[in-house]
């Protein structure tokens, strides 16, 4: 059983998948940092100095100045600012993956096969495209 498991792990597809997951995870962290640290602050500034990470709906009776303070007190909150940042993260990652897959598919396209033969209408054998007579049945071709 161990030998079979080792054989499964060493197959190319499994190793490629593992590498893809690790790189994807690192890419996700980069995109999350980009969105929260670089993209959202200017957008918040343009929208009137809004800090998206502090946008929340408090479901308790007590007022809290920030999400961190509400979490520390154990209050129930709906953190829609963090959710918006996560949506932007997803859109960026999904767009990057879409563009990557699209380019890979373009590179992997197989060229269309060049037709070099045709079928004889009389004996149905394959003959050269430019032939004027069938070599099998000797019929004259148009």
pLDDT in tens, 67-113: 888 888 888 889 888 888 888 888 888 888 888 888 888 887 777 78
Domain with CATH 1.10.1200.120 in the chain: 2-109
CATH 3.40.50.1110 describes domain 2-109: no
Predicted pLDDT at 41: 83
User: Rounded distance, CA 96 to CA 22, Å?
Assistant: 16
Question: CA dihedral defined by 11, 14, 17, 21, rounded to 10 degrees?
Answer: -130
How confident is the model over 16-60, as pLDDT tens digits?
778 788 888 888 888 888 888 888 888 888 888 777 788 888 888
Q: Specify the pTM.
A: 0.57
């Amino acid at each position: 059983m161990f030998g079979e498991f080792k054989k499964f792990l060493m197959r190319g597809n499994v190793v490629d998948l593992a590498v893809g997951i690790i790189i994807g995870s690192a890419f996700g962290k980069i995109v999350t940092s980009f969105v929260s640290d670089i993209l959202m602050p200017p957008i918040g500034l343009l929208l009137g100095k809004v800090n998206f990470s502090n946008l929340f709906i408090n479901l308790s009776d007590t007022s809290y100045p920030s999400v961190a303070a509400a979490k520390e007190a154990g209050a129930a909150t709906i953190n829609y600012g963090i959710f918006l940042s996560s949506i932007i993260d997803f859109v960026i990652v999904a767009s990057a993956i879409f563009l990557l897959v699209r380019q890979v598919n373009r590179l992997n396209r197989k060229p269309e096969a060049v037709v070099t033969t045709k079928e004889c209408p009389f004996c149905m054998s394959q003959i050269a495209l430019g032939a004027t007579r069938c070599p099998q049945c000797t019929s004259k071709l148009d």
